[in-house]
Amino acid sequence: MQEWFQEKITDAKVLDLSMEVYKKKFKSLIGYQFLFAIIIIVMMMAGGLLILPMLFWINLGSIPGFVLFIVLLIMGIGTLMSLNNVGIFHMTHSYINGEDISASEALGRAFSSFKYIFRIVGALAICLVPILFILGLAGVTTTAVTVFHQQMVSGILTYLLFNVLFLSFITAIIGSFLFYSLHIAVFDKEKGFASIKRSMQFAKGEVLKNAFRVLSISMFHWGVNVSVYASIAGAVGLLSFLFGKIQGGESIVTQMMLYSQKGRSFIDFVVGILLNPISPIIWTVYYINMKYKKEGLKINNMIESLEHKKSEELPENLDIHYE
């Protein structure tokens, strides 16, 4: 599959290649998602026993308490999400390079990259500390953030709008400069701030393009997400109607939506298992394309120039010895 990158790769071509990887590695990707979900549940239970007592010692009403709480939240959620993505990074990267790794191997590689992931997530969290202090001085509290999040995810429509519009917009702004930072940290074994610096160097001249790529990945992911979500929710509502769970006298559509809402946790789990790998695959294809264009072609040109020099005819030696 490396020959794909020897020609110009457009955004549409990236999507085609990503979907081919998704189809070829579908079983392994689903297996990886299940394994990762099981491990994360165990880790969250163990982590909760450690973190919850710490929260009792933090004054969440104060500005330092607010900043510390948000930083810990960002580092915890960011590390877990990155771990999930990194396993898929490894599966995609290895498949394109001709190595077919299993779900368990991808899981092992993801957790072996924990140090590099934690470094870059920690670096990003440190960069956000001044902004959090400004928000704290402006009167934003932990309670206000929690209430806002609960309102945004309370209903299906607001949940989708929150993820599709708000989070996608924030991700596009950050990703315009940090598009390759996580891949650099994982595959090049760079430290947190060094990964951010290199990502910014690669992003020169591509800031708007990277923002568009991040936004496109998010919109594509959530577009497929909404379609699958609507199909499953409709099937749940229809089954409820067929099994007599829907009562007469009220709007049938409203009752079907309510029953779909009850099955939301199950739907979220199924949709997450099926669709979460899409974004990391697309992301990794962009990274491989960038590495080839920035470094691969450079190396190829160096090799060609060396071969050309070797093939040049050397001038004949002059015979300076006379009899």
pLDDT tens-digit series, residues 89-147: 899 888 888 788 888 888 888 888 888 888 888 888 888 888 888 878 877 777 777 77
**Three-class DSSP category at 316:** coil
Percent with pLDDT over 90 in the chain: 0
Give the residue among 207, 205, 225 at the shortest CA–CA distance from 278.
225
Report whether 279 contacts 218 (CB < 8 A): yes
What residue spans define the domains of the chain?
2-294
Q: Give the model confidence (pLDDT) of 183-192 as tens digits.
A: 888 888 777 7
* CB atoms closer than 10 angstroms to residue 135: 18
Report whether 288 contacts 1 (CB < 8 A): no
Report whether 202 contacts 180 (CB < 8 A): yes
- What is the four-CA torsion angle of 184, 186, 188, 194, rounded to 10 degrees? 50
Q: CB neighbours of 67 closer than 8 A, spacing ≥ 6?
A: 129, 132, 133, 136
pLDDT on residue 298: 47
Report whether 272 contacts 232 (CB < 8 A): no
Q: Which tops the pLDDT comparison, 7 or 33?
A: 33
Q: CB neighbours of 124 closer than 8 A, spacing ≥ 6?
A: 74, 78, 178, 192, 196
Furthest C-alpha separation in the chain: 122
Q: Give the model confidence (pLDDT) of 65-74 as tens digits.
A: 778 888 888 8
Q: CB neighbours of 167 closer than 8 A, spacing ≥ 6?
A: 218
Q: CB neighbours of 74 closer than 8 A, spacing ≥ 6?
A: 121, 124, 125, 128
Q: Flag whether pLDDT at 7 surpasses 70.
A: no
pTM for this model (two decimals): 0.73
